[in-house]
Every structure is written in structure tokens, then in C-alpha cells.
Amino acid sequence: MAHAAPRSRGPVERTDPTDPTALFGPRAHRAAKVAVPVLIGLVYGYWAAANRRDAGPVTGWNLLFGFLTALAFALVFMALLALAPKLRREMHAVLWAAFSGIAVGFLFNQSDGSVLRSTALGLVVAAGVFAMMFYRFYTHEDATGHPAT
């Protein structure tokens, strides 16, 4: 008969054995609070710059636009991650909806879409994100904003 080989219990074990979702330690979470918004911001900035140049040549102004867009997106995203959880669930959902709607509308506008279509698309996305986020916060928090147990 075959048996499982013994293993050491060092770095494989979780930091807090009572928390089933704690896969990484506090240091990894601190790094992720900066790294994830920066990486998503770089993708967003590249996407906006690619939409703006419309398959034309990459220029210095296009690179500058992409990096400034990435910087603005990452800073607003980090501020939202820090500020939104401190608000009530309604405002929390409104902030995520506004951020998502503005981001999608801006991307659409960079591909030479009209302002009205960009606004309409942004509002549709914002309404969908609001419904989804409000439902999530409503089902996972009590009325005071504390996690439901």
C-alpha cells in the first residue's frame, strides 16, 4: 500500500489557523494594497492610450497620456480602497458605481465615441455596478456597516 509522504509544516500553514481566507501574511497584504492598483492602473493607462492613438504610431505624447492616465486611475483607486469601506453601504456602493462608470465612459470616449454615447454607457455601467455592490454590501453587512455573522 502507498502512504502519503511526511512534510514539514513551516511556510505552508496559514498565519491565522482560525481564518480560512488568510492565505497571505500582513506584509503581503500591505504590498498588495499598492501593487494591485498600480498594475491595474498601468493596464488601464495602456488601454486608454491605445484607444486614443487608434492604431497609429506610438508617440511621446501618447506615452505621456498613458502614464498620466495610469497615475490618475491608480491614485483614485487607492483612495477609493482606503475611503469607501469607512462609509455606509449606500455611499460605498455609489462610490464604486461612480468610479466604474467614469472609467468605462472615459475609455469609450478615447476611441472617438460621442460624448452622449460615452455618458450613456457610463451611466449604464454605473447602474449595474451600483446594483451589484449594494446587493453585496446589503447581504454581507448589518445596518451599522459591520460584517454580518
3-state secondary structure of 47: helix
Which tens digit of pLDDT belongs to each residue from 64-94?
999 999 999 999 999 999 998 888 888 989 9
Instruction: Tell me the pLDDT band of 132, cut-offs 50, 70 and 90.
Output: very high
Output the pLDDT for position 148.
Answer: 62
Q: Distance between CA 49 and CA 99 in Å, rounded?
A: 19
Q: Alpha-carbon distance 125 to 16, whole Å?
A: 38
Reduce the secondary structure of 12-30 to three states and give it as a string: CCCCCCCCCCCCCCHHHHH
Query: In the prediction, which pLDDT does 24 show?
Result: 76
Q: Pick 30 or 8 by higher pLDDT.
A: 30
Q: Residue 49 has which C-alpha cell?
A: 492610450
17-65: per-residue pLDDT in tens?
566 666 777 788 888 889 999 999 999 999 999 988 887 888 889 899 9
Say what the alpha-carbon torsion angle 69, 100, 97, 119 is, to the nearest 10 degrees: 90
- Predicted confidence at residue 4, as pLDDT, reads 67
- State whether residue 147 is helix, strand or coil: strand
Q: What pLDDT, on the 0 to 100 scale, is given for residue 23? A: 74
